[in-house]
Amino acid sequence: MIKSDALTRAWVVLIALSGLSAVVSTMMDRGFDTRIMGSVVLALALMKARIILSRYLGLADAPSWRRGFNLTLTLFCLLLLGLYLFPQL
């Protein structure tokens, strides 16, 4: 049997996170605080990137590498968030 359950779950979660991103961006258009909504959009992007690394690229089986990639990606997204929020400070 093909071991694809974790992969299929990852795909479903990625689709759900993408839908959530669309909902959040609509809320931004309707006047919700762009600082909060922007932070949520970036957090959702980070979650999607982590899932792609773990399940699609197989880093779930390489925990040391997964930790390194996740840490770097998290720091990168924090940098993007800082640059995004800077004009609104």
Partner 1 sequence: MTEQTSQNLLEELPGDLMMWVLIISELLIFGAGLVVFLSLRISDPAGFAEAQSQLHRTGAALNTIILITSGYLAAIGLRLNLAAQRGAARLALIAAAALGVVFLIIKLAEYADKAAQGITYDTHPFFMFYYLLTGFHAAHVIAGVLVLLLVAWRDTPENIEMGAAFWHMVDLVWVLLFPVIYLLA
Q: For binding to partner 1 (CB under 8 A), which residues are involved?
A: 2-4, 7-8, 10-11, 14-15, 18, 21-22, 24-25, 28-29, 34, 38, 41-42, 44-45, 48-49, 52-53, 55-59, 61-65, 76, 79-80, 83-84, 86-88
Please, what is the minimum distance in Å from the beta carbon of residue 34 to partner 1?
A: 6
Nearer of residues 25 and 71 to partner 1, judged by Cβ = 25
Please, what is the minimum distance in Å from the beta carbon of residue 74 to partner 1?
A: 12
Smallest Cα–Cα separation from 40: which of 26, 54, 57?
A: 26
Sign of CA dihedral 40, 41, 43, 44: positive
Pairwise CA distance, residues 38 & 62, whole Å:
31
Nearer of residues 57 and 71 to partner 1, judged by Cβ = 57
Please, what is the minimum distance in Å from the beta carbon of residue 56 to partner 1?
A: 4
DSSP string of 40-71? Answer: HHHHHHHHHHHHIIIIIS-GGG-HHHHHHHHH
Rg of the Cα atoms in the chain? 15
